[in-house]
A and B are shown apart, each in its own frame.
Chain A
Amino acid sequence: MIFRPFKSEWIKLRRRRLWYGSYGAIAGVVVMTTVVRIAGATHRVGSSGNLTLTQLARAGGLAQGVTGSTILLGAVSLSIAAAQFGGEFAHGTLRNLLVREPRRARLIVGNGLAILSFIVGAVAAATVVDIGAAFVMAHARGVTTAAWTSGTGMGDLGIAVGDMAIAVCGFAIVGMILGILLKSSVIAIATGLAVLLPVETIFTDAVPETARWLPGHLLEAVAQGGTSVAGFAAALVTVSAYLAGAVAVTLLVFARRDVTS
């Protein structure tokens, strides 16, 4: 009956402010990336590393707003997920939930799936808004969009959004794990963001090869459909193994721990 905790969590996710806040934040991040990238596109290949208008006009051009906002989307989803679970401890409502559903693993998995569906929904909604913004910007910069609407263009977008959804779920799972283990939204979000961003970067700055083994970088590689350091399949397999292990440990710890909040 994984469905009961799933439906129960959705009542909390329906909160209007959470809805506007997170759907707005995710759509905002994606649209902002698209706008900045198309606005900053150059006529010729330059030293800035910006895309050129010719590159933009290719089939993959429509997807780059989504692909380009991995870190920000990851940070937002990690925070939302950590806050949902951390909040149960902070409000002292977890004990009420556990009286109605004492099967703790079932509760966590059902609630977690609801949070993932919420975040995937946010990515999908952001994509729709982003497509609109991309066409408007393309029109403004005189980029031809024929390739975007081709079969290849739509396919590329689908793959980009799918990869991003997988990566974002990974970040959200990290957030949930930290929320449960650290029993606090704020501490979980701070820890998660610190480890995934600056701490990992310290390692990759010293030895770039470590990106192949660090979860944040692996999730980023998944979102981009693979990078030069970590291929898509390898990144997906490695990070899935990490997350599966971490989820198993979390469920075990949570099932045995005294509930004191």
Chain B
Amino acid sequence: MPLLAHASCGPRMPESCAVVTTGLTKRFGHRVAVDSLDLAIPEGSISGFVGPNGAGKTTTIRMLLGLMRPTAGSGTVLGYPLSQYKSYLAKVGALIEGPTFHPALSGWDNLAVLARLGGIASARIAEVLDRVGLGDRGHDPTRTYSLGMRQRLGIAAAMLPDPALLVLDEPTNGLDPHGIAEIRAMLRSFADEGRTVFVSSHLLTEIQQVCEHLVVIEGGHLVFQGSVAQLLASRAPELAVRTESPDDVDRLVALVRRHGHAATVSGRGAEATVTVSASCGWAGELNRLAMAEGMTLVHIAERHSTLEEAFFEITGSCTEESRERRTQAVHTETSDPPKVEEHTR
């Protein structure tokens, strides 16, 4: 069951949505790449579009841009029906499935090809190159560009038409943390100008900080749609519990389960931690029950779920092993959470 939490964009206020889709579906033969997707992307904000590899992000984006014909479903972009993509694309900028250019042409010429085609004044080329920090390298052939420069040139190309809607497919893919932060700052500034930014990534952590709205898909299905706060709230609370004696761990798990809560163990020996599916309101009760059975608890804490964990919870991509690794990561205060690919089935 998808967790549908419509943000500012409910069925009652469709006029405030830059993108709306209903039952959007794309089949390739027997494979369903996008399955009855209902999107509602609020206008003037940054919306993240997150899902593991092969989730259907690019396919969805291609349908929104008139590059692929939906098998079923309908929708609107900037108020126009999807079938009238020729009318709305003039106000849409896009970077689809990574940046692509003519390698022998300079960055400037690559943008000029698109500017001429769209009837965009040449003066705009220098503007967008400066905007993404490529002003001084604009006349070098793009084959000499680093990946970070190519991503930025791709964003510059998307900015050419001064778009009301900016669709960026994995603009942070392959970048180092510094490069990712730069792209995030850029997205922020675009949204501050009143543009709607729809940005996809297979790594939630790369874009979570700037996204006001999130769409999570997996296997072509919508798994979550709403604000980041709603995503965090939608996750069941957990308690991390440690016993004084490692021998008590199994008894504690049995006790918790007898009282109707789920429990899992991570770590071994003195490091063993029992994760209990309960809110901190149950912590006192748990402590009393444990004491009554002669167990001493040395640590009870509510686990603050990272967005990444919430994402795993929602996509159901969490295996016992990966949970253990994550817990370790939390304990060692690693700021860099494990990557999604490691956890997808």
Q: Residue-by-residue, is B108-119 near A (CB-CB < 8 Å gives 1, otherwise 0)?
A: 010011101111
In this complex, what residue of B is CB-closest to A5? B117
A132 at the interface (CB under 8 A from B): no
Stretch in B60-68, B264-272, B314-322 touching the partner: B60-68
Q: Is residue A102 within 8 Å, beta carbon to beta carbon, of the partner chain? A: yes
**B216 at the A/B interface (Cβ < 8 Å)?**
no
Contact of A102 among B89, B103, B114, B161 (CB under 8 A): B89
- By size class, the interface of chain B is 20 to 34
From A6-14, A116-124, A196-204, give the one contacting chain B: A6-14
Within A216-261, the residues touching B (CB, 8 Å) are: 256, 258-260
Nearest-neighbour CB distance to chain A for B15, whole angstroms, equals 24
Contacts of B157 in A (CB 8 A): 96
Residues of A68-110 at the interface with B, using a CB-CB cut-off of 8 Å, are 87, 91-93, 95-103, 107
Pick the contact of A7 from B65, B116, B160 — CB < 8 Å? B116
Chain B residues whose CB sits within 8 angstroms of the CB of A92 once the complex forms: 97-98, 100
User: Are A98 and B66 neighbours in the complex by a CB distance under 8 Å?
Assistant: yes
Most buried by B among A5, A17, A18, A95: A95
State the CA gap A104–B117 with chains docked (Å).
Answer: 12
A206 at the interface (CB under 8 A from B): no
Q: Would A258 and B100 count as touching, CB distance under 8 A?
A: no
Q: Which of B112-150 contact A (CB under 8 A)?
A: 112-114, 116-119
Contact for A99 among B69, B89, B103, B113, CB less than 8 A: B89
Q: List 13 A-B contacts (CB under 8 A).
A: A5-B117, A8-B113, A11-B112, A95-B96, A96-B96, A98-B65, A98-B67, A99-B65, A99-B94, A100-B89, A101-B117, A103-B86, A258-B67
Partner of A4, one of B94, B98, B118, B160: B118
Query: Which B residues are CB-close (under 8 A) to A17?
Result: 104
Asked if B105 lies at the interface with its beta carbon under 8 angstroms from chain A, I say yes
List residues of chain A with CB within 8 A of the CB of B66.
Answer: 98-99, 102
Residues of B within 8 Å of A146, CB to CB, are none
Given A17-B104, A91-B103, A95-B67, A100-B118 contact (CB < 8 Å): yes
Q: Establish whether residues A91 and B101, one from each chain, have CB atoms under 8 Å apart when the complex forms.
A: yes
- In whole angstroms, what is the CA distance A96 to B150 when docked? 14
Min CB distance, B190 to chain A, in Å? Answer: 17
- Complex Cα spacing A91 to B89, Å: 22
A140 contacts chain B at the CB level, 8 A cutoff: no
- CB–CB B105/A12 < 8 A: yes
Which 6 A-B pairs rank lowest in CB-CB distance, beginning with the nearest? A92-B100, A100-B118, A8-B116, A8-B117, A259-B67, A100-B117
A163 to B121, CA, bound (A): 39
> Once bound together, how far apart are the Cα atoms of A9 and B157, in whole Å?
17
Chain A at the B interface: mostly helix, strand, loop or mixed? helix
Q: Contact at B118–A101, with CB atoms within 8 Å? A: yes
Which residues on A sit within 8 Å (CB–CB) of B119?
1, 4
Asked whether B261 is an interface residue with its Cβ less than 8 Å from the other chain, the reply is: no
Nearest chain B CB to A13 CB, angstrom units: 10
Q: Does B92 contact A (CB under 8 A)?
A: yes
Q: Tell whether A259 pairs with B68 under 8 Å between CB atoms, given A12-B102, A95-B96.
A: yes
Chain B window 147-168, contacts with chain A (Cβ cutoff 8 Å), 1 for yes, 0 for no: 0000000000100110000000
Q: Which of B89, B92, B101 contacts A93 (CB 8 A)?
A: B101
Query: Could you tell me if A102 and B86 are in contact, using CB atoms closer than 8 angstroms?
Result: yes
B100 CB contacts on chain A under 8 angstroms: 91-93, 95-96
Partner of B113, one of A12, A258, A260: A12
User: Which residues of A sit under 8 angstroms from B89, Cβ to Cβ?
Assistant: 99-100, 102
CA distance A93 to B114 in the complex (A): 10
Kindly supply a per-residue 1/0 record for chain A positions 16-42, scoring 1 wherever the CB is within 8 Å of any chain B CB and 0 otherwise.
Answer: 011000000000000000000000000
Assess whether A8 is in contact with B114, with CB atoms less than 8 Å apart: yes
Which B residues are in CB contact (< 8 Å) with A87? Answer: 102
**Which of B68, B85, B114, B160: most chain A CB closer than 10 A?**
B114
Q: Which residue of B lies closest to A258 (CB)?
A: B68
Complex formed: what's the CA distance from A4 to B44 in Å? 30
Beta-carbon contact of A11 and B68 below 8 Å: no
Chain B residues with CB under 8 A of A9 = 113
B86 CB → nearest A CB, Å = 5
A18–B105 alpha-carbon span in the complex (Å): 11
A11-B116, A99-B89 are known contacts; what are 9 more A-B pairs with Cβ within 8 Å?
Answer: A7-B116, A8-B112, A12-B113, A17-B104, A91-B103, A95-B100, A98-B65, A102-B66, A258-B67
Contact with A along B59-96 (1 / 0, CB 8 A): 00010011111000000000000000110010011101
Contacts A12-B105, A95-B67; is A102 near B85 (CB within 8 Å)? yes
CB distance B102 to A99 under 8 Å? no
**List of B residues within 8 angstroms of A4 by Cβ:** 116-119
Bound together, the chains give a CA A7 to CA B160 distance in angstroms of 17
Complex-state Cα separation, A98 to B100, whole angstroms: 13
Q: How far is the CA of A14 from the CA of B106 in the complex (A)?
A: 12
| CB 8 Å contact bits of B188-203 with A (1 = contact, 0 = none) | 0000000000000000
Complex interface: chain B residues within 8 A of A18 (CB): 104
Q: Is the CB of A96 within 8 A of B67?
A: no
Q: How far is the CA of A14 from the CA of B112 in the complex (A)?
A: 12
Shortest distance between the CB of A12 and any CB in chain B (Å) = 6
Which one, A5, A8, A99, contacts B92 given CB within 8 A? A99
Smallest beta-carbon distance A58→chain B, Å? 45
| Residue from the set A4, A15, A100, A258 with the largest chain B CB neighbour count within 10 Å | A100
Min CB gap B32→A, angstroms: 15
The distance from the CB of B18 to the nearest CB of chain A, in whole angstroms, is 16
CB distance from B29 to the nearest CB of A (A): 12
